[in-house]
Amino acid sequence: MDEYDYIVVGAGSAGCVLANRLTENSRHRVLLLEAGGSDRKLWIQMPIGYGMSFYNPRVNWMYRTEPEPALNNRQDYWPRGKVLGGSSSINAMVHIRGQAADFEDWRAAGNPGWGWQDVLPYFRKSETCSGDPAFHGKDGPFHVTDVSADCHKLCASYLQAAAEIGLPRTGDFNGAQQEGVGLYQIATKGGLRMSAARAHLWPARARANLRVETEALANRVIVEGKRAAGIEYMKDGAVKRARARREVILSAGAINSPQLLLLSGIGPGASLQPLGIEVLHDSPAVGRNLQDHLCIDHLYRARVPSLNQDLGTWWGRLRVGLRYLTGLRGPLAMSVNQGGGFIRTRPGLARPDQQLYFSPLSYTRAVPGKRALMRPDAFPGFLLSAQPCRPTSRGHLRLKSADPRIAPMIFPNPLATEQDITDLLEGSKFLRRLAAAPSLQAVIAEEMKPGPQIQTDDELLADVRARASSVFHPVSTCRMGQDARENVVDPTLKLHGMQGLRVIDASVFPTVTSGNTNAPTIMVAEKGADLVLRDAG
Ligand SMILES: Cc1cc2nc3c(=O)[nH]c(=O)nc-3n(C[C@H](O)[C@H](O)[C@H](O)COP(=O)(O)OP(=O)(O)OC[C@H]3O[C@@H](n4cnc5c(N)ncnc54)[C@H](O)[C@@H]3O)c2cc1C
């Protein structure tokens, strides 16, 4: 059996950071296992390729949730990256840290060392970004770009409309003032996607003390007594084993890290026995506390051309393609989400309760499948979307089978609380107020969805249940916290009751942050790497 100091499972947003930081010092030998393959693919590196990876089983786990009663029993589609870089190789690149108060909440929940002032240095360490140096790093591996100069003309109508209804403007959602509307910073450098793989793995891959195995599916943690001794994985049709002298670190993401624990006999005993899995460590919270962001889109037919004309016609594609080829700029170098916002939908709220997205294009989601594609609509259109920041509903996941190749069953359980229902309804109503502002009215020909026939709160709520969907931010399935019955890892990210085993990825978030989850996952991994190295002396 090969032996390493650390085995990291999953080369996603967190795993790539760990592989890099743990091998900076040549003392440690690290094995990084990734179920997917290479990220050297055009549609991953070119930002607009988002639409191509969205349904591509070669780079995407393409999960479906179980039928969700609150969403008319729909099975939501949950893409997750299955490739070097993980979900950071297929995500929409919007770069948001969350609110300072999110991390104060983490600390207050019994996690010393995770308050805002504790985590800010790790956010700064992780990135290179323009803006106030009190908030932004200037020489970190993960590059974040201000693409405002290239935003579509319709973004000006969005910003102007927001001003007309009295929303403040912010120039930096990750700076001193998150609240307000503005244009998103995105994770790119020189017109190419900035994934965790590009930031951390590409520079580290040549190191003699790092071994990266792709197309390697971890089956289970090898447990000896209460110690994680290594990993069993499948590669090229053969079962292999590797030993970890110091630690096994699970960074397989919020779906697969708990799945792997459950497959290893670490989880709620009662749910494992029926599958014939021997319970090696009873940890009731594995797979519980699942949180995610749910979003509602309003679709408008525009009076003026939108990005649909650039991306959906051959002459438009020629124009933007040439712009990209000659300068790595323009719509192909951007996220589909260009305008953003963090706003309070009603008076009396202590902090923004809603994230806004303005996309100067519109597309209709396909039915997920091998040949599905995300295509811009044939007419000029754009989307306004609202996503409540801090849902209170909790879901869970559990194994369907003891076979590691079979996806777990995901029960997101959205809209399970009155507050979550109110928040999403308020978000949807707020989009109508924003769209009614003169500058948006000037470019809107027609509200296509929900549509003018939907007027009352009951009708809007019915529309939410019929159409709302995930924005792909699952977290908390191996939650960090002090109580071993309620949480999976302690504040140093070690598994409660086990030795030599940590989980470091989005699954440890005590609660979902008030925004997109890539930047905070990278922060968790930067801090996690420090915790691991500190223990190694
Ligand atoms: C379509 C989409 C759009 C998104 N848009 C944004 C956005 O615009 N901004 C933002 O901030 N966030 C966004 N997110 C969320 C963000 O990308 C994730 O929160 C973040 O990448 C999670 O990082 P992670 O390390 O926890 O997991 P991941 O990055 O998903 O990494 C897990 C890795 O582990 C591997 N793995 C899993 N199981 C095994 C196994 N058994 N053996 C070996 N390897 C395994 C996976 O293949 C994957 O590479 C989006 C996500 C998606 C899917």
DSSP string computed for 88-119: GGTS--B-----HHHHHHHHHTT-TT-SHHHH
pLDDT of residue 10: 98
C-alpha of residue 448 to centroid of ligand 1, in Å: 32
Tokens of 210: 């790092």
Average pLDDT over residues 504-520: 98
C-alpha of residue 268 to centroid of ligand 1, in Å: 25
Pocket lining: 145 vs ligand 1, CB cutoff 6 Å: no
Pocket lining: 193 vs ligand 1, CB cutoff 6 Å: no
Give yes or no for residue 371 having a pLDDT over 90.
no
Fold match, 1-143+194-291+395-412+471-537 / 145-183+294-390+415-467: no
Average pLDDT over residues 509-513: 98
Q: Is 473 a catalytic residue?
A: yes
C-alpha of residue 472 to centroid of ligand 1, in Å: 9
Average pLDDT over residues 432-460: 98
Q: Which helix (H) or strand (E) holds 47?
A: none
pLDDT of residue 467: 96
- For ligand 1, atom 3, which residue shows the shortest CA distance? 91
Give yes or no for residue 142 having a pLDDT over 90.
yes
Pocket lining: 260 vs ligand 1, CB cutoff 6 Å: yes
C-alpha of residue 90 to centroid of ligand 1, in Å: 8
Pocket lining: 217 vs ligand 1, CB cutoff 6 Å: yes
User: How many other CB atoms are found less than 10 A from the CB of residue 73?
Assistant: 10
Query: The whole model's pTM is what?
Result: 0.98
Pocket lining: 218 vs ligand 1, CB cutoff 6 Å: yes
Average pLDDT of every residue of the chain: 97
Residue 200 DSSP one-character state? I
Residue 368: pLDDT band with limits 50, 70, 90: confident
Residue 369: pLDDT band with limits 50, 70, 90: confident
pLDDT of residue 392: 98
- For ligand 1, atom 2, which residue shows the shortest CA distance? 91
CATH of 145-183+294-390+415-467, one of 3.40.50.1000, 1.10.10.10, 3.40.250.10, 3.30.410.40: 3.30.410.40
Q: Count of H helices and E strands in the chain? A: 16, 28
pLDDT of residue 1: 78
Ligand 1 atom closest to the CA of 520, numbered from 1 = 11
pLDDT of residue 170: 97
Residue 357 DSSP one-character state? E
pLDDT of residue 374: 84
List the catalytic residue out of 28, 293, 298, 473: 473
Ligand 1 atom closest to the CA of 60, numbered from 1 = 47
CATH of 1-143+194-291+395-412+471-537, one of 3.40.50.150, 1.25.60.10, 3.50.50.60, 3.30.70.260: 3.50.50.60
Average pLDDT over residues 476-494: 98
- 225 SS3 class: coil
Pocket lining: 478 vs ligand 1, CB cutoff 6 Å: no
pLDDT over 70 for what percent of the chain? 100
pLDDT of residue 373: 79
Instruction: Report yes or no: 506 and 517 within 8 Å, Cβ to Cβ.
Output: yes
Give yes or no for residue 405 having a pLDDT over 90.
yes
Give yes or no for residue 161 having a pLDDT over 80.
yes
pLDDT of residue 375: 87
Pocket lining: 248 vs ligand 1, CB cutoff 6 Å: no
Convert the pLDDT of each residue in 22-41 to its tens digit: 999 999 999 999 999 999 99
C-alpha of residue 166 to centroid of ligand 1, in Å: 36
CA torsion 115→118→121→124, rounded to 10°? -10
C-alpha of residue 386 to centroid of ligand 1, in Å: 22
Average pLDDT over residues 373-386: 94
Ligand 1 atom closest to the CA of 13, numbered from 1 = 25
**Which of the listed residues 144, 488, 513, 518 should we mutate to test ligand 1's pocket, taking the one with most ligand atoms within 8 A of CB?**
518
**Which of the listed residues 17, 56, 91, 470 should we mutate to test ligand 1's pocket, taking the one with most ligand atoms within 8 A of CB?**
91
Give yes or no for residue 82 having a pLDDT over 80.
yes
Pocket lining: 9 vs ligand 1, CB cutoff 6 Å: yes
**Which of the listed residues 222, 517, 527 should we mutate to test ligand 1's pocket, taking the one with most ligand atoms within 8 A of CB?**
517
Residue 237 sits at the vertex; the CA angle it makes with 235 and 240, to the nearest 5 degrees, is 45
Ligand 1 atom closest to the CA of 80, numbered from 1 = 53
Q: 364 or 250: which carries more pLDDT confidence?
A: 250
Ligand 1 atom closest to the CA of 518, numbered from 1 = 11
> Is the link from the previous residue into 450 a cis peptide, with omega within 30 of 0?
yes
Residue 333 DSSP one-character state? G
C-alpha of residue 302 to centroid of ligand 1, in Å: 34
Give yes or no for residue 4 having a pLDDT over 80.
yes
Average pLDDT over residues 197-205: 97
Pocket lining: 80 vs ligand 1, CB cutoff 6 Å: yes
C-alpha of residue 80 to centroid of ligand 1, in Å: 5
Pocket lining: 506 vs ligand 1, CB cutoff 6 Å: yes
CA-to-CA distance for 193 and 45, rounded, in angstroms? 5
C-alpha of residue 60 to centroid of ligand 1, in Å: 9
Amino acid at residue number 402: A
CA-to-CA distance for 510 and 287, rounded, in angstroms? 13
Domain boundaries of the chain, sorted by first residue: 1-143+194-291+395-412+471-537, 145-183+294-390+415-467
